Structure 1
């Protein structure tokens, strides 16, 4: 066996995209566990569906846990998992759902016929244990618990060879409690293992014609038109042989699958065709599909999902059928119209499909894959088993068996003894329409990436018409030497779930794409007409006409550590391929390169590229030769695009014609020509048929492209697009035409740029009323988490925008309008937005750019008439291959409204604005002309306000008002003598040393006066005498200041600064007002630069004087203590006269103490008066004060008179000593001694002396 290369697994788990099945519908998925040379037989019908066989006769039938045809639940399905089983939708579960419960003792009972069984579930950190029994025999418990992240579709139980042959069995799973685990229990699906029962087919002897007619009587032998078979089953039960013919009556209609068995020979293939006259017979698959496979499934996958099917068969020809396989479920499924499959090794030859009409196939639009690998030398992930490449109109599919024991993401060793491929495949003259996802495909599921032995050979795809497909038109993957010619692909790449081009391939070599027309690619994922993708070499794209493809014309793509080399693009006509100016959008796109992997030795020559939009003509590409091409880009927006040509290091341009508007990045030299017009024979805009376009793309007599080409680059090219010799007399033209020059056609003017309202220019703002609605506005409905960027984070329309990170999140706005534009932001981490209009997908917006850009118009639509519409911008979850994320940004919606009246008010508005100036000075004009003016002025304003006014009324009103303005006459002659003399004086003014501000005012007034004088002399009717007088007065006034020299404010500033540091709360109120006034006056002087020096000096002197007259508030501490002492005395035993004096002195002292504005003199006086009164009291009471500070009381007790400074007594007039207090003189003296009063009094006396 040949040794195979093994590839490393791609990082991360595969997003398997398992599809949600019909819950409780009895749907069963059959899969093979061993792949090999499967007999040409159909298998036995089961309750779950058709079985798919494997070489060892073992059949595996998948049963969902909720399938009540096989499974009994106790308790049943409900809504509360605490009392029943519930269905939980999980995308990672099989068919998108599983069942669960938290009821202890709940049971799941599976009854099946077979030899073994497997059970698959979801494991999680909240899951518990299950007990297991099969036919009453108890097995070890199952644990569904796992400490980390949840694990889906995990096999937790397997019992094989329960019986030697198929028998009835019962499996019971019961929930139970256990330590250290959870109490949730999950059930996903079962696999029933059974022995395949041999199917018996009727063997045809060969060289026999069989007839099939849906209107035939039951029971015919099929050997004649009169005894025709009446059902597909009649055909499917036969094993056909060489020379057999299956003829189906014209107009017949069948539902189900046509799957005849057997093979023909090289000399005598088996042929399916029609007989009779009328419409082709219909095979309607009625939405049949295969369930989504997993990494362990080897294939084939197509039998359950194709309307017409062949498997491991060869030498078949299928002609003149109508085929459909539609479902309205709206779900991506593995469905085909006609599918031919092979697996197990070997070459299957001679598969011809011709003249069939295939339509309405609801296949798979998305990007799933069950085999993601990174090449062993590192690099970008390869996707080797995408369902989308097996679905659509016609699908030719082989399978390579690999070791999948390591699970998802590991490539595994190839187990087939030899590759499985097809040879001699012809798909010709079919019409394919309305297919999801593709028109025609070939592939090898899990085939070796870079081994030509795994590529189909002698594949011809010719003369097919493919319209309205969601992704690609023609995709010949895994081919060597494929010929794709004379096909039409019209309207493709409409979905945002995945990427596609009109005609493209990868893992292919020596392909030839020629004489095809590809048009109307709908979005930028990828949306080009042609693509030679990864691992392609020695390919040629020639003699094709592509037009109006949003993504671009041609893409060359490569992945890291792979290759794209020696591919040629020549003699192609591209018109308006790509519309937006963004990364990965160009007429020629060459991407995927990195520092180690480059596009090698690509040649692009003798093409004609016409584009009326502002676009990238070329985007990237390392080693590409551009020669003898015509680039005609008439849109003037090109002139401002400095990076229009974004080129690789080794890319060269020779002998090209660059016509129209010119970017500064446009290549020059090397024989390149830069002109205004290439002078093609006609004007191209992308709406032409192929024949019309070829006529217009010829060269007229004066074309600069005639004869300028470099013939050395033509290599093996023999003819141009028209069949003319590629080289004539040693010369060649630039572009696709190498014939004689021709006369220009009548419509040969420049193309109209922006003819498509959806992607071209917006409606004119002059013709419509425009309304902007910011994305964050409450009128815009947002679904899903979003972030508002504002301020320095946004340069959007209102310096704001919003962005969504989650797939499916959106912003939706309902509006009434004639047109709407969507504005977004682009950047290196942006994804692809899907734009929906009135519920229908309208466009895709690829928001990736290497550098963020704001205010990008992503979409514009113009309606036939103003009306109510809803637009939605949704995060598709997809992204440009170069983007680092899939964030979708939305700036604003711009709505265009029809104006109330289709009239031009511009001239009337302008004249009224002018008249407003005259109305303000109308008194300067004669009475009769002023009256005429007022009449015309009021009439014009009335017309302006009239929404029903016609254009002629508007024009007449504007003309009448303008006439009235011109007719105004001044009421008096204007005298300018004083003004002229004032200007003479101004000429002699010396400004040296004058304050700058004064000089500035002087110059301004002088210039204004000169202007008034000149306008008066010129007869300007708007100038009045009052304007002249005001002008000369202002000039003379400022001249009077010209002797002014600015004073020195240094001293004033110092004094003001000092004054501002003073705390007025520390000063007596007297003098504060004078100080405040002086400070305010000084500060005003500082602000007036016209102040004389004497005023400045006076100001600071006045301020200093006011400061000096302020008085600090005196200290009252001593007075406070003295009052407190006095308030503790009693006047008992003291004469009334002495007591009165004492009370009077104490009352005055309290009054002075409480007076905030008391002067120092008043405080000292009150203190002395009170001290004297206290001394007299003490003397009158019979006590005496000593100089030691101690006093002997009448009782003979000595009391220390030391002062206690630790506390103070509150001073209040209510505490004054009152007559009649009962304290005796002795007690009084004792109190005074104990409280330190004597010492205080003595202290006062000492201070006085």
Structure 2
């Protein structure tokens, strides 16, 4: 986040090993069939009925799965091994192969030295109603569900659905990867997944090294809903890659994360790593929408990262909206771009951050860092930051080399921290504040701009040109009058309602003045007024 992120050989190579298809040769009839596997079955049976089921996954692996076939495991039973769907199997989006459970409950696959389920160089597969268990994060180098494409001539493989899955004990709970530019998977849906106790991440998509001058995204149309990634601790020996994240989207064009969460991740991320983890974030992607999700109590071992949500290097046309972050080690929301990796046309709006930066308050609850950032719009967010025991902090942190950043109609509440810390004397062409509400719940109002400390909104405005429109002052220091007190504590997602102001303050009409896209509803689904009040919540 603060520096370049790459998923070099470590994670990618490890997941390549998952996809290496080492299953036995496949034999089976050409017609569409349903195969059954039961702990009480017999591998010499036909396997085509519940009463004539196979016993092992090894036997099931000898059946070639054609379009429309189903492979079902007895609910409540445990099976050792893996299910592999190879390049000569499945392949039809209209007649997908179905892998799942039958009877009562879900079957459990206990993987030893492999993925729980591997889909390699094919698609047209639906995976549902299964529990996947790996060997544990200290020994596992596999994914619970691994979708992997390593051919250069097949384009994108279409249609994979993963639903009602519980995956733990792997390097990654669900992995979607590709080795060649412009090839990978399309139309991938993940629904109702619990991804916990893994090492690097709960869910990860990735592709080959990204070249901004020639963007070629590995995957497209990724839809993630009701996915919960937690207690993915990180690899204490991984110095050159970020580990311990919740949901990570890399190498993707057009993706949605909705109604999902990432919490309590990164507890074992190393202190000497170059990069740290975050809750839910994207990099090297275009058209990513992350909304109606939460990220809280995520950790980092380093002096960077540990954020709730992020748009990392080389992200375009993407939006963070209607999200909640609280009590993360790092900031609630961040953007980052490194040299020669542009970051353009992104939006952060109608989000809430409460008491983020618990370990790293100096990085801010809302952080903008890097170069080549263009047309970044940050508006209608609510950020409340109480003091942390870790030392000095700030509400908004602006690193050098920013450009084209507008910050408007936000509600910022501070417990004595500066509202803004800018590491350089940024011009209004680089960063522009307008129409924001800065309320000091305790202590003195301050802002640090380069090497100068300003003790009032008016003096900061006059010296820097911030909070002006048509040569008139904008912005206010008025109290939002939270019903739960001056600095309400958000300890669970349901506590977000504590940050609804009783004393609303009208912001700027962003649509009329700047042509900014405005939404119909606030964070809680209430209609947005014209002009809207500051912050993410209407009273």
What TM-score bracket applies, with the shorter chain setting the length?
0.7 to 0.9
SS at match of 2:357: coil
Q: 2:534 aligns with which of 727, 731, 734?
A: 734
> Within 2, Cα distance between the matches of 1:642 and 1:42?
57
- Say yes or no: does 1:506 pair with 2:283: yes
CA contact (8 A) 1:240 1:264 kept: no
Q: 1:309 aligns with which of 88, 104, 118?
A: 118
- Secondary structure at the aligned position of 1:691 is classed as helix
Match of 2:248 in 1: 475
Match of 2:201 among 438, 441, 448: 438
CA distance in 2, matches of 1:15, 1:543: 32
What's the TM-score once normalised by structure 1's chain length? 0.36
Which residue number in structure 2 is paired with residue 557 of structure 1? 336
The whole-number CA distance in structure 1 between the counterparts of 2:62 and 2:55 is: 13
> How far off is 1:511 after superposition?
0.8
CA distance in 2, matches of 1:642, 1:461: 34
Q: Return the match for 1:628 from 409, 416, 422.
A: 409
What do residues 1049-1091 of structure 1 show as CA deviations (whole Å, max 9, x unaligned)?
xxxxxxxxxxxxxxxxxxxxxxxxxxxxxxxxxxxxxxxxxxx
Task: Show the counterpart of 1:724.
Answer: 526
What do residues 248-303 of structure 1 show as CA deviations (whole Å, max 9, x unaligned)? 1111101122214411422210111211113x2111113x2xxxxxxxxxxxxxxx
1:537 maps to which of 313, 316, 323 = 316
Deviation for aligned residue 1:678: 1.5
The one of 657, 663, 667 aligned to 2:446: 663
CA distance in 1, matches of 2:9, 2:159: 34
CA change 1:691–1:450 in 2 (3 A) is farther
Q: Secondary structure at the match of 1:356?
A: strand
Q: What are the ranges of 5 or more consecutive residues in structure 1 without an aligned counterpart?
A: 1-9, 19-29, 32-37, 45-199, 289-304, 364-391, 401-417, 742-1249
State the Cα deviation string for residues 410-443 of structure 1 (Å, max 9, x = none). xxxxxxxx83221100011100111101010111
Task: Give the direction of change, closer, same or farther, for the CA distance of 1:710–1:680 in structure 2 (3 Å limit).
Answer: farther
Pairing 1:823-902 to 2, within 5 Å after superposition: none
How far does residue 681 in structure 1 lie from its aligned partner after superposition? 3.8
Shift of the 394–686 alpha-carbon distance from structure 1 to 2, 3 Å rule, reads farther
Q: CA deviation at 1:592?
A: 2.8
Query: In the TM superposition, what is the alpha-carbon distance from 1:228 to its structure 2 partner?
Result: 0.8
1:50-199, aligned counterparts within 5 Å? none
- 1:576 touches 1:685 (CA, 8 Å); kept in 2? no
Given the superposition, is the C-alpha separation of residues 724 and 469 from structure 1 closer, same or farther in structure 2, using an over 3 Å criterion? same
1:544-591 deviations in Å (ceiling 9; x for gaps): 0111111111111111122011111000011011135665x1112222
1:268 maps onto 2:104 in alignment? no
Query: Could you list the per-position Cα deviations for residues 704-724 of structure 1 after superposition, in whole angstroms to 9, with x for gaps in the alignment?
Result: x24556443572222222333
Contact 1:399 1:447 in 2 (8 A): no
Change (3 A) 1:420 1:206: farther
Give the aligned partner of residue 464 of structure 2: none
Q: Which residue of 1 aligns with 2:104?
A: 277
SS of 2:59's equivalent?
helix
Larger CA Rg, structure 1 vs 2: 1
Following TM superposition, by how much is the alpha carbon of 1:699 offset from its aligned partner in structure 2, in angstroms?
2.5
Compute the displacement of 1:725 (Å): 3.7
Counterpart of 2:57 in structure 1 is: 232
Counterpart Cα distance in 1 of 2:510 and 2:119: 51
Q: Is the 8 A contact 1:567 1:603 kept in 2?
A: yes
- Which structure is higher in helix share? 1
Counterpart check, 1:691 vs 2:469 = no
What is the CA–CA distance in structure 2 between the aligned matches of 1:581 and 1:463, rounded to whole Å? 29
Residue aligning to 2:481 = 679
Sort the Cα spacing of 1:41 and 1:530 in 2 relative to 1 into closer, same or farther, 3 A: closer
Evaluate the alpha carbon distance shift between residue 220 and residue 685 of structure 1 in structure 2; reply closer, same or farther with a 3 A threshold.
farther
Equivalent residue, structure 1, for 2:454: none
Matching of residue 425 in structure 1 with residue 188 in structure 2: yes
Q: 1:678, 1:15 → 2: CA distance?
A: 46
Q: Distance in 2 between matches of 1:507 and 1:591?
A: 16
Residue in 2 aligned with 1:334?
141
1:672 Cα deviation after fit: 3.9
What is the CA RMSD across the aligned residues, in angstroms?
A: 2.8
Q: Assess, with a 3 A threshold, how the Cα gap between structure 1 residues 734 and 687 changes in structure 2: closer, same or farther.
A: closer
Q: Is the contact between residue 69 and residue 98 of structure 2 (CA under 8 Å) also seen in structure 1? A: yes
Q: Which structure 2 residues correspond to residues 743-754 of structure 1 after superposition, within 5 A? A: none
Structure 2: gaps (5+ residues): 234-243, 449-456, 462-466
Contact 1:618 1:646 in 2 (8 A): no
Match of 1:399 among 141, 154, 179: 179
Would you say 1:220 and 2:45 are equivalent positions?
Answer: yes
The match for 2:241 is none
- CA–CA separation in structure 2 for the residues paired with 1:351 and 1:626: 39
Q: Distance in 1 between matches of 2:419 and 2:136?
A: 50
Q: 1:461 aligns with which of 193, 201, 224?
A: 224
Task: Report which structure shows greater RCO (CA 8 Å, sep ≥6).
Answer: 2
Please report how far the alpha carbon of residue 450 of structure 1 lies from its aligned counterpart in structure 2 after TM superposition: 4.9
Rounded to whole Å, the distance in 2 between the matches of 1:642 and 1:706 is 20
Equivalent residues, number: 475
**Structure-2-length-normalised TM-score:** 0.81
Query: Could you tell me whether the CA contact under 8 Å between 1:627 and 1:709 is conserved in 2?
Result: no
